[in-house]
Amino acid sequence: MGILIKNGEIITASDRFVADVYCEEGRISAVAPGLEKQRADDTVIDASGQIILPGGVDAHVHMELPFMGTESSDDFETGTAAGVAGGTTTIIDFVIPSRGQHLLDGYAMWMEKAKKSVSDYAFHMAVTWFSDRTLTEMETCVRDHGITSFKTFMAYRGAIGIEDPELIQVMEKSATLGSLVTVHAEHGDAVVALQKKFLREGKTEPKYHAMSRPAPVEGEATARAIMLARMMGNPVYIVHVTCKEAVDAIVEARTRGQVVMAETCPQYLLLDDSVYEKPDFEGAAYVMSPPIRPKGHQDALWAAVAAGHIQTVATDHCPFNQVGQKDMGKDNFARIPNGAAGIENRLGLLWTAGVVEGRFDVHKFVDLFATQPAKIFGLYPRKGAVVPGADADIVVFDPHATDVISAKTHHHRCDRSIFEGFQVKGKPSHVIVNGRVQFKEGKLDVQRGAGRYLPRQIHTFPKPVQS
């Protein structure tokens, strides 16, 4: 049986037009006005007055990630299901091998965990330490498993972070493979020094997490990563950009013609560091790295998004419960597990704050939400597009509906929402995943294990204009 979506307005990264969409066998087979049912048992969705969007691609999530003595609280099933409820139908998670674990062993472990996903998934490979196998295993990742991007952490030294000489090696190898290096940019040594200083002074509350990772920590590392990529001749993608200092480094490089891409997240666009002043340890819910920034940085991020210097908005979804996880750091901010939930909220927040509030147009929205992440990470046009031949991952979006975000009603397996009480305008009425309606009028109907692993293509980036 197929699905026929009638009379919706299709919005893509470049166009908008009213047409019908027919899906069969998991794919979009036709996009045209006046389509008819093909079979008696076809499902027909009347999308009059609604918008048709490609399913969202969240290029930065961490399901069941072992981290800081615990594990992120959404597994691949609950986390991808929450994504579907929020119009995200593809995730790119990270294989993060522990020290001593080889890349391909990490890959096997993550493949096993991710089998329960309800929607499709891909992986970035984090290089967290070096062995004599690392470089050849990077080749295997790209050639045999379609893992065409590598993640590096300039922070978290001694755990998953690497040193500059190792980052340079990853860049050198990646340049020969045509893959993309992505960077978590924070100056690891500076963070450790500031953490120690605050703890020595008896400053243990959540707000000192943010104060131990101020904007210059990120600005310095972002600029350094960009310069290293320039020297080694690599394109580079900076994950979760939060501050003006990092934006300045990115804009400077892009203006010179260097191929630098950047991602930010709704929490960095919409929250400011007053969240760390909440009483009763509630500030811990906002402990993530990089932290939420003081007022002012958000405007710099919006401007960079509008100008195209930041190309994607992902979530860094990495939930931890306040009770039983965040409270591990009750007496020491450095022990609060870093991360928060967000995969379900990206669509509503970005549409509301971006389109409804007039910061950018609908096409930019689709680009940030689905098309650019799919392109940059080698999933386009199978993902990120409403065209014949693409996977049938579609959001039927009601722009008139409203919603209030709350931990009481979200699908994240997490006891807090960092967006508690946020009002959003627009909400999916139907979410189609791989040709099946998996969310309809507020209710999920997902299938554990229905998601498939997505090997990714190599995306060819333009050559730098000048280097």
**Residue 339 touches ligand DUC, criterion: CB under 6 A:** yes
Greatest CA separation for the chain: 72
Task: State how far the Cα of 250 lies from the Cα of 214, in Å rounded to an integer.
Answer: 18
Checking DSSP bridges between strand 3-11 and strand 16-24, what pairing results, if any? antiparallel
Query: If phi over 0 gives left and psi between -120 and 50 gives alpha, with beta otherwise, what is residue 449?
Result: left
From the list 62, 297, 375, 412, which residue makes contact with ligand DUC (rule: CB under 6 A)?
62
In the list ligand DUC, Zn ion, none, the entry touching 270 (Cβ below 5 to 8 angstroms by class) is: none
Q: Tell me which amino acid residue 418 is.
A: I
Task: State how far the Cα of 5 lies from the Cα of 322, in Å rounded to an integer.
Answer: 41
Q: Which residue, 62 or 436, has its beta carbon nearer to ligand DUC? A: 62
Task: State how far the Cα of 219 lies from the Cα of 365, in Å rounded to an integer.
Answer: 26
- If one counts every other C-beta atom within 10 angstroms of the C-beta of residue 214, the result is 19
Q: Which residue, 1 or 356, has its beta carbon nearer to Zn ion? A: 356
Task: State how far the Cα of 262 lies from the Cα of 179, in Å rounded to an integer.
Answer: 16
From the list 173, 184, 254, 410, which residue makes contact with ligand DUC (rule: CB under 6 A)?
184
In the list Zn ion, ligand DUC, none, the entry touching 443 (Cβ below 5 to 8 angstroms by class) is: none
In the list Zn ion, ligand DUC, none, the entry touching 398 (Cβ below 5 to 8 angstroms by class) is: Zn ion
Q: Which residue, 283 or 339, has its beta carbon nearer to ligand DUC? A: 339
The pair of structure tokens assigned to 454 is 């997505």
Q: What residues pair up with 23 in beta bridges, in sequence order?
A: 3, 28
Minimum CB separation from Zn ion for residue 112, in Å?
21
Q: Which residue, 53 or 68, has its beta carbon nearer to ligand DUC? A: 68
Q: Is the link from the previous residue into 290 a cis peptide, with omega within 30 of 0?
A: yes
Task: State how far the Cα of 46 lies from the Cα of 13, in Å rounded to an integer.
Answer: 23
**Residue 188 touches ligand DUC, criterion: CB under 6 A:** no
In the list ligand DUC, Zn ion, none, the entry touching 385 (Cβ below 5 to 8 angstroms by class) is: none
In the list Zn ion, ligand DUC, none, the entry touching 253 (Cβ below 5 to 8 angstroms by class) is: none
Q: Which residue, 99 or 133, has its beta carbon nearer to ligand DUC? A: 99
* Site of interaction with Zn ion (CB under 5 A): 184, 316, 398, 400
The mark string for 262-301 relative to ligand DUC (x by CB under 6 A, - otherwise) is: --------------------------xx------------
Minimum CB separation from ligand DUC for residue 263, in Å?
12
Task: State how far the Cα of 390 lies from the Cα of 402, in Å rounded to an integer.
Answer: 29
Residues 235 and 210: beta-carbon distance below 8 Å: no
The count of residues in the chain is: 467
Helices (H), 257-313: 266-270, 297-307
The pair of structure tokens assigned to 338 is 């870093």
- Binding residues for ligand DUC, rule CB under 6 A, total 8
Minimum CB separation from ligand DUC for residue 290, in Å?
8
Q: Which residue, 287 or 355, has its beta carbon nearer to ligand DUC? A: 287
**Residue 60 touches ligand DUC, criterion: CB under 6 A:** no
**Residue 338 touches ligand DUC, criterion: CB under 6 A:** yes
Q: Applying CB under 6 A, which residues contact ligand DUC? A: 62, 184, 288-289, 316, 318, 338-339
